[in-house]
């Protein structure tokens, strides 16, 4: 299995603080059957702006320790990029990282709103063959108030990533309920832990999947896990037609 959203690189943002914390989280990932992790520290965030050089250096150091410990897990570069008005320019200038050097870019919205210029950003990214993945939409207040706002972003070319902890109930019952609603109405395409450490923000990768199994959402599990693999292979994703529950089909290919 592949985790496309983590803050496992130590000492760069609000994720793992030390090498020891990163290694502990990697051990947890191995125990959950995760074989690949995309490292996605915050970029262009008001509090954190982890550079490409920092990602490269920390990833190399962590990979060395993985090899020393004999862990069967691979790391890939990436960033969780905060939405900004000049994002397309930064992508063209190679100032930010896509996920595992693919055409998929992990895009973070503000916590409470959806800026009006986002449609232009999505369309401009798609026009240069970059597909924005909306990170944890279930934790955006505007989407919680009206999930059709997420559908609008998807109709314009974005896809979305649900957080394992949200599905597992780590952020409360309301966010868990919304997460399941977004998944059941086919507004979710990928799955990530957004893990920051082993204690307060753990992986919960298996726990989230177990909730989906309990709800008998097997088709959705298949799609999100398959799409995670397709991201690191830079392949087109499976899409479910929004609001057509359980009807598996290709809805646009990027």
Edge-to-edge strand list for the sheet holding 104-108: 42-43, 80-82, 104-108, 131-135, 159-163, 190-192
- Report if residue 243 sits inside a domain: no
Tally of structural domains, the chain: 1
pTM of the full predicted structure? 0.92
Do the domain assignments include residue 237?
no
The count of C-alpha atoms lying within 13 angstroms of the C-alpha of 78, restricted to the half-sphere facing its C-beta, is 30
Model confidence band, residue 243 (pLDDT cutoffs 50, 70, 90) = low
Flag whether pLDDT at 250 surpasses 50: no
On whether the CB atoms of residues 13 and 50 are closer than 8 A, the answer is: yes
Summarize pLDDT for 146-178 with one digit per residue, the tens. 999 999 999 999 999 999 999 999 999 999 999
Q: Write the CATH number for 141.
A: 3.20.20.140
Q: Residue 213's domain spans which residues?
A: 2-232
Can you read off the two tokens belonging to residue 128?
Answer: 């240069």
CA atoms within 13 A on the CB side of 43: 27
The answer to whether 159 and 239 have CB atoms below 8 angstroms apart is: yes
Token pair for residue 52? 């490409």
Within-domain flag for 250: no
Residues shown for the chain: 254
**207 within a domain of the structure (yes/no):** yes
pLDDT at 240: 77
How far is the CA of 41 from the CAs of 6, 154, 184, 221, in angstroms?
A: 7, 24, 29, 25
Q: Which residues contact 134 (CB under 8 A, 6 or more apart)?
A: 107, 109, 150, 153, 158, 159, 160, 161
How many C-beta atoms surround the C-beta of residue 242 within 10 A?
Answer: 18
244 found inside a domain? no
Structure confidence by residue, pLDDT tens digits, 117-143: 999 999 999 999 999 999 999 999 999
């Amino acid at each position: 299995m592949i985790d496309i959203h983590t803050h496992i690189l130590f000492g760069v943002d609000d994720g793992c603080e030390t090498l020891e914390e990163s290694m502990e989280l990697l051990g947890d990932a191995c125990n959950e059957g995760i074989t690949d992790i995309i490292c996605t520290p915050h970029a262009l965030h008001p509090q954190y702006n982890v550079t490409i050089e920092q990602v490269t250096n920390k990833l190399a150091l962590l990979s060395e320790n993985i090899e020393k410990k004999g862990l069967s897990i691979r790391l890939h570069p990436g960033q969780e990029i905060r939405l900004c008005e000049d994002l397309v320019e930064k992508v063209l200038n190679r100032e930010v990282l896509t996920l595992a050097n693919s055409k998929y870019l992990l895009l973070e919205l503000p916590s409470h709103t959806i800026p009006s210029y986002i449609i232009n950003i999505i369309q401009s990214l798609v026009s240069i063959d970059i597909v924005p993945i909306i990170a944890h939409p279930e934790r955006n207040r505007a989407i919680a108030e009206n999930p059709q706002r997420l559908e609008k972003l998807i109709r314009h070319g974005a896809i979305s990533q649900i957080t394992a902890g949200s599905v597992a109930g780590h952020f409360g019952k309301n966010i868990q309920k919304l997460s399941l609603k977004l998944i059941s109405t086919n507004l979710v395409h990928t799955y990530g832990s957004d893990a920051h450490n082993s204690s307060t923000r753990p992986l919960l990768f298996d726990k989230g999947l177990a909730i989906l199994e309990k709800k008998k959402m097997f088709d959705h599990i298949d799609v999100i896990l398959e799409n995670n693999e397709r991201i690191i292979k830079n392949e087109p994703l499976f899409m479910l037609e929004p609001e057509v529950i359980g009807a598996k089909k290709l809805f646009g290919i990027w």
